Amino acid sequence: AIRMTQSPSSVSASTGDRVTITCRASQDFNTYLAWYQQKPGKAPKLLIYATSSLQRGVPSRFSGSGSGTDFTLTISSLQSEDSATYYCQQSYSFPWTFGQGTKVEIK
């Protein structure tokens, strides 16, 4: 199984800050990488698919990039409503796997 490792595990930043979350895969693949946002007690929400495509309705301050084994989710200007846990997920090969999550808190 492809192991997905996110860093950092948590980050605290101020509104307006740029926040970057990294997801490293245990093997090389392209495209089949998604990012989700989950708020407490809620279902996950798809933000980014195919590494860099923004899901409809998601604010443009969210962006994704990467290739090979290293992928990144960037929030260009952090807003209070972005406080959540973020997960990467690979769908290159079964079993599909998620990263362990990155908790983003607002200072």
The contact set with another protein (CB under 8 A) reads 1, 31-32, 34, 36, 38, 42-46, 49-50, 55, 87, 89-92, 94-101
Q: Contact 23/100 with Cβ under 8 angstroms?
A: no
Which is nearer to another protein, 103 or 107 (by Cβ)? 103
Q: Minimum distance between the CB of residue 43 and another protein, rounded to whole angstroms? A: 4
β-bridge partners, 59: none
Which is nearer to another protein, 1 or 105 (by Cβ)? 1
